[in-house]
Structures are given as C-alpha cells and as structure tokens.
C-alpha cells in the first residue's frame, strides 16, 4: 500500500514541509534510507543522516530546523518516535489475521474456543481450557487443563502454558516461552537430600502484557505469581514463584527475579539485572544493566548501578575512584619511598 506525505500528516496531525504528494510504501532506517520509504529522526546523534538519506519522507519533531538544504519531504510532529510507533501499528493492523482450527490440532471437546480464533497445526488444548475471541494460537502451542485466555491474545509457536494459569486480553507471548512451570521449591532433609515442595499455585497475567521469546514465569507455591497490566518482558527473562510485577514495568533480556519479590509500577530493569527473593522494589525504580538488588528499595523513582545496588550518582563517583586505583597505588608507593628516605636522613643526622 502507498500513502502520500499529506495522508500521513493528516493521520498524525502533523505538518508537511516539502512535496505533499510524494508517496511511500515501506519504512527504512535513516542511515540506510532508499527512495519510496519513510524514516524518522528522534535521536540527535543521527541528525547528520537527514542530509544524506535517500528516504522520501522523514518524520521529525516540530522543533527541528535544518541547517542546510534537504532532499526528503519532512513531516513535523510533536514526537517523531511516537508518530513512527503509531504508523507501524497502523500498518500491522492491515496484516491479514488467520482463522480456523487446523485439522492437525488436538483440541479437547471440553475446551471452548472463541469466535474468529486461529489454532495452528500440532497445537494441543486440554480439558476445560477457555480461549477468547480473535486469538491467534500458532503451531505447536500447549495449553493445559483449565487455562483461561482472553480476547485478542497471540501465542507464537512453541509457547507452553501449564494448567490453571490465566492470561488477560490483548496479550502477546513469543516463541518458546513457558508460563506456569513449577517454582524452584525444595526442602533439605537430614540426609542431605532435597524433597520437592509441590507448587499448587498459578500464574496470572493481566491485560496488555507482552512477553518475549524463551522467557519462563513460574507458578506460585500457593496463591499466584502475578504480572500486572501493561508489563513488557524481553526475551530470556526468569520470573520465579510468587513474584508480583507492577503495572507498566519493563524488563530487558536475561533479567532475573527470585521468589516472592514484589516489583512496583513503572520500573525499568536493564539487561542481566536481578532482584533477590522476598524483597520489595519501589515504584519507578530503574536498574542499569547487571545491577543486583540485595535489599529492599523503599524510595520511588531512583536509579541504581552495580551489585549490591548503589544509587547512580554515588556509583559514578565511586567508579571514578576505582578507575584511578592503579595511579593512586603508584602514588602511594612513591610516597612510601620518600618517607623511607626521609627516615634514613633523620636517623643519620
């Protein structure tokens, strides 16, 4: 499909600077732009590319003023990144949705499938499962007994959802993710072995949650492991039993959250960050990559680095000292030599 600059500007409530009739049919990165594509400029680091890009249309913030002549047509909007996201969502909505149940799927007679749902080949849906309207369940998905899945949910190939778990509306779960596997619960015995503690709880995932590929979310020992509305989870994240994640929190790849940790709303976790079990993390907390939380975080809206976690400003000052340790050590050695020489002179005198 082709859209003119004016059509795009009207949709985004933006302003065209250049040729309003020029058309595009695809997207491109600004540094790799080709004719017939639309790109965007949001990060100032990429400003130089707007003067060399071959893209036909560039979305820019309404505060942008070029320093020299430009070849592409500009569409000025309040926030170019948000505008791009809106356009990508529009294009995605035009993609055809699959429907119908594959003859190679195994669907229990005791399961309920909503209207306009798609169930791919070799998917297994067990007794008592309830699937909402417009669900897109791709091949080789497993949905256990009594699982409840809301409307407009997408489960990509290889997703596994164990019995009794609940997924809300408008959720997306990417390939290979496991929801509802047993929590890591074992009790040491007198003879040095470990007895398994049955995990009889469930996982509850609220509306508008997206979960990346090969992530694991363990069922609770009792009660529920809960992922609140709007949470976004990257690939390869581990969420242990009885964890609760607050609304609109985001987690980057390889993050880990030990059992019974309570995560606040609007938190941001960098890659390979982690939280020790049974801790509470305040709303708005931000962890840099590889940061580890070893004590409760009570104050909201702070950023932390390192392990154990340290407030960002303190960590940065400490790191300057750490980086200078070799030079400081050499200075100390030189001072020791000078002091030794002074002692010898005093003793001689």
Q: State which H helix or E strand residue 136 sits in.
A: strand 136-137
From 190-199, 204-213, 230-239, 316-325, the region with the lowest mean pLDDT? 316-325
State yes or no: pLDDT of 349 exceeds 80: no
Report the chain's terminal Cα–Cα distance, integer Å: 95
Q: Specify the pTM.
A: 0.86
With a CB cutoff of 8 Å and minimum separation 6, the contacts of 347 are: none
DSSP 105: -
pLDDT range class, residue 323, cuts 50, 70, 90: confident
Please say if 302 is a catalytic residue. Answer: no
Q: What is the pLDDT of residues 148-194, one digit of tens each?
A: 999 999 999 999 999 999 999 999 999 999 999 999 999 999 999 99
Which among 241, 266, 278, 302 is annotated as catalytic?
241
Q: What is the set of domains in the chain, with CATH numbers?
A: 3-93 (3.40.1390.10), 100-312 (2.160.10.10)
DSSP β-bridge partners for residue 125: 107, 143
Q: Helix axis angle, 80-93 relative to 5-12, nearest 10°?
A: 110
> Count of CB atoms within 10 A of residue 88's CB?
11
pLDDT, mean over the chain: 95
The better pLDDT of the pair 265, 318 is held by 265
Contact by Cβ (8 Å): 58, 30: yes
Q: Rounded CA gap, 84 and 195, in Å?
A: 53
> Cα–chain-centroid distance for residue 102?
31
């Amino acid at each position: 499909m082709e859209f003119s600059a004016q059509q795009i500007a009207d949709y985004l409530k933006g302003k065209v600077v250049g040729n309003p009739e020029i058309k595009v049919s695809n997207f491109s990165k600004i540094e790799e732009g080709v004719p017939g594509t639309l790109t965007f400029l949001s990060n100032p680091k990429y400003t130089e590319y707007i003067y060399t890009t071959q893209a036909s249309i560039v979305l820019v913030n309404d505060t942008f003023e070029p320093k020299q002549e430009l070849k592409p047509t500009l569409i000025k909007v309040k926030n170019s990144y948000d505008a791009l996201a809106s356009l990508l969502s529009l294009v995605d909505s035009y993609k055809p949705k699959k429907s119908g149940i594959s003859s190679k799927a195994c669907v229990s007679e005791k399961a309920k499938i909503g209207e306009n749902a798609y169930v791919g080949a070799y998917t297994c849906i067990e007794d008592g499962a309830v699937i909402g309207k417009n669900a897109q369940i791709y091949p080789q998905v497993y949905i256990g007994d009594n699982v409840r899945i809301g409307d407009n949910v997408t489960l990509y190939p290889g997703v596994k959802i164990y019995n009794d778990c609940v997924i809300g509306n408008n959720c997306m779960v990417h390939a290979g993710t496991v929801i509802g596997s047993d929590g890591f619960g074992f009790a040491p015995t007198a003879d040095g072995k470990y007895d398994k503690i049955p995990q009889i709880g469930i996982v509850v995932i609220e509306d508008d949650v997206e979960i990346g590929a090969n992530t694991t979310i363990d069922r609770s020992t009792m009660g529920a492991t809960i992922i609140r509305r709007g949470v976004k989870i990257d690939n390869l994240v581990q969420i242990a039993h009885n964890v609760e994640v607050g609304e609109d929190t985001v987690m980057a790849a390889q993050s880990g959250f030990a059992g019974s940790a309570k995560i606040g709303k609007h938190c941001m976790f960098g890659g390979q960050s982690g939280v020790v079990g049974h801790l509470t993390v305040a709303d708005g907390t931000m962890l840099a990559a590889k940061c580890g939380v070893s004590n409760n975080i009570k104050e909201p809206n702070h950023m932390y680095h390192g392990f154990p976690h340290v407030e960002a400003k303190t960590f940065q000052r400490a790191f300057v000292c750490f980086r200078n340790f070799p030079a400081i050590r050499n200075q100390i050695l030189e001072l020791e030599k000078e002091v030794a020489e002074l002692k010898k002179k005093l003793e001689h005198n």
